[in-house]
Structure 1
Amino acid sequence: MNQPYSILLYYCYTPIADPEAFREEHHLLCLELNLLGRIIVSKEGLNGTVSGLKEDCEKYMQLMHADPRFAKIDFKVDASDKHAFAKLHVRTKAEIVHSGLLHIDPNVRTGVHLSPTEFKEMKDREDVVVLDVRSEYEYSVGRFKNAVTLDIENFREFPEQIDALKEKYKDKKILTYCTGGIKCEKASAFLLDQGFENVYQLHGGIIKYGKEAQGEDFEGKCYVFDNRVAVDVNQVNPKVISECYVCKTKSDRMVNCANPVCNLHVPICESCGHEMEGACSAECKDHPEKRPYDGTGYYQKELNGYNPLKGFNRRKTTGVSA
């Protein structure tokens, strides 16, 4: 298959003195390179997922690495036959991943970074707990075998789990993991802050583990935040763990309910998808606003007059300044 595009997943905890100025310059840079995706800028750093032609993504990575602030970025790169996004959004926020832990700086102290090979070697030891710090809808479609999961809908709820984790696992070695590594930076740092002594994190997350350790013992698919929704990771002993929301058979086919008022994001098998016309229930199937079902269960958001240059007054730039 011809795959002329790349999808980049990356983050970097690094001080950015003027996030708004950087955001504007960076947005223009991405436009010049024809990149689409989502990038968050804050005083603590940068968090992004973008897609573009391979040569444009290569230039982007070269420019980022040339800036001392971003020299340490570990880009996770996937090949694709098309863009993974329809728009470009570069936004400023208080944190590059919402945790509420503004006092935690991973550059000062965080968990020991483990390579995929090191993580694989440690994860099944008796004195180790493998902790998934992602949200329920992410780990429901895929997670490491025997991983401890948390009843959270968003990462900002993670701090609320600390007391329960202390009660069960205070004296264990904690190996944290997430999609690409960014949540683990804050999660493992916070665990150390709260008195845990042996804390580690999977460097590069599930995506890097799939590339360098063939994804062994990761069961199901990895949830991603682009149009692919979920991707295969395990090349050694793959297993489907999620169930169709309608019939309860094994299925990792993530869809959105065809009823936009519901829009429930769950696995629905292909058979039920067609039978229910993309809906998650009989009520949603009969809803007057139900969207036409094209067999995918993915509904591209309307561009609604999207103008990537709206509000920009500065001249275009080819650097990553500001």
Structure 2
Amino acid sequence: MDNKEYYILLYYCYTKIENPEAFREEHHQLCLDLNLRGRVIVAEEGLNGTISGLKKDCEDYMEQVKSDERFATIEFKVDEHHEHAFQKLHVRYKPEIVHSDLATVDPLTRTGKYVEPHELKTMMEDENVVLVDMRSNYEHELGRFKGAITLDIDNFRDMPEKVSDLEAYKGKKVVTYCTGGIKCEKASAYLIEQGFEDVYQLHGGIIKYGLEQGGENFEGKCYVFDSRVAVDVNKVNPKVISKCYVCGTTSDHMVNCANSVCNRHVPICESCMEKMEGCCSDNCKSSPEKREWNMEGYYPTKLNGYNPYKDSKRLKKEKQSQ
């Protein structure tokens, strides 16, 4: 569809935020004023978000965020879309901007050296370079860099338990990567803590690499946390590496299982989607919790009276003054 009037923004910034709960309220109001939707996390350690909106609203948002000196260095990964990629807006305060359980790791103090996308293309030709995927199983099984090392983890917080699997690569240049770069800020720092000496991270992650370098040698699709579910990255030498969870045929049709209790993130080919009614197994197909399925395999949470202005203190004050 050519009529792409919306942007999807992916971003993060590690920076000190004093009184983050007060900042959350201000930032929530900013997003409301600009008609944005998505998920934003605020913590003492910084800001992390994925949001969508009309192009002009997103441009205003980026300008206002970057005008704050705390976020002057923030980099927005910008993709075009034909509609909102989210149904709701959530701006939340949390202890970390990405759940890692690495409270002692501070990317502002120490982290892996940045590798820009154009530099990675050259580094991948070096036999002394090892790429390590810091994402979860369902993400790297759908797509990953050619020859990359993957960790058997279901969540990023499980990463420290698997670092021992990388011991054989301590003498090499280790380049970590993830979707947008945020996980690698702490992952690369943690590797340094564990004795890895030559540690790098792909600046801006897979998404920036795709936008700036055409995604060469990224095999498969990249899982994203919005209504698109998965996106093409490689425009140079694309290759499908994932297989249908049901029948094993080659497929990159990434979906959520239609059984709401399961909700497994897996590739299921279109033939099996029809046969299994969007489910990943016969048990899920017969479950009373099976949703009305669709071929996209994306089932957003029902609105259930959702009100984006619920936590708006400005609105509350206006109502009180009336």
TM-score (norm 2): 0.95
Once the two structures are TM-superposed, the CA of residue 315 in structure 1 deviates from its matched residue by 5.7
Q: Which stretch of structure 1 is more off in the superposition, 109-118 or 3-12?
A: 109-118
Deviation at 1:98, TM superposition (A): 1.0
Stretches (4+) displaced over 4 A: none
Q: Which residue pairs with 1:320 in the alignment?
A: none
Q: What code does the residue aligned with 1:164 have?
A: D
TM-superposed deviation, 1:293: 2.2
Deviation at residue 264 of structure 1 after TM alignment: 1.8
Of 103-112 and 53-62, the range deviating more from structure 2? 103-112
Report the TM-score, using the length of structure 1 for normalisation. Answer: 0.95
Aligned to 1:137: 138
> How much has 1:288 moved relative to structure 2?
3.0
How far did residue 299 of structure 1 move? 1.4
Aligned pair 1:301/2:296, yes or no?
no
Higher relative contact order (CA 8 A, sep 6+): 1
Report if aligned partners of 2:38, 2:86 keep a CA contact under 8 Å in 1: yes
* Structure 2 residue matching 1:8: 3-state secondary structure: strand
Q: For structure 1, which segment, 12-21 or 95-104, has the greater mean C-alpha deviation from structure 2 after superposition?
A: 95-104
More displaced, 104-113 or 37-46? 104-113
SS at match of 1:221: strand
Residue 297 (structure 1) shift: 1.5
Return the offset for 1:313. Answer: 2.5
Equivalenced residue count is 316
Report the Cα distance in structure 1 between the residues aligned to 2:284 and 2:87, rounded to whole angstroms: 27
Q: Which residue of 2 aligns with 1:243?
A: 243
**Which residue number corresponds to residue 314 of structure 1?**
314
User: CA contact under 8 A between 1:123 and 1:175: conserved in structure 2?
Assistant: no
Using the alignment, how far apart are the partners of 1:316 and 1:192 within structure 2? 48
Contact 1:28 1:316 (8 Å CA) reproduced:
no
The CA deviation at 1:295 is: 2.1
Corresponding residue number in structure 2 for 1:96: 97
Aligned mates of 2:30, 2:283 — CA distance in 1: 46
TM-fit CA distance, 1:316: 9.4
The 2-side partners of 1:179 and 1:142 are apart by: 11
The range that moved more, 185-194 or 284-293, is 284-293
Superposed CA RMSD: 1.4
The residue aligned with 1:157 is: 158
Q: Deviations over 1:216-274 (max 9, x none)?
A: 00000011111111100000110011100111001111112222222222110011101
Runs of 5+ in structure 2 lacking a partner?
Answer: 318-322
Segment of structure 1 superposing worse, 123-132 or 287-296: 287-296
Partners of 1:51 and 1:311 lie apart in 2 by 20
In the alignment, which residue of structure 2 is the partner of 1:59? 60
User: Residue in 1 aligned with 2:320?
Assistant: none
Alignment-derived partner of residue 179 in structure 2? 179
1:45 aligns with 2:23: no
Say which SS state the counterpart of residue 314 (structure 2) adopts: coil
| Residue identity opposite 1:180 in structure 2 | G
Q: Is the 8 A contact 1:29 1:316 kept in 2?
A: no
Aligned residue for 1:271? 271
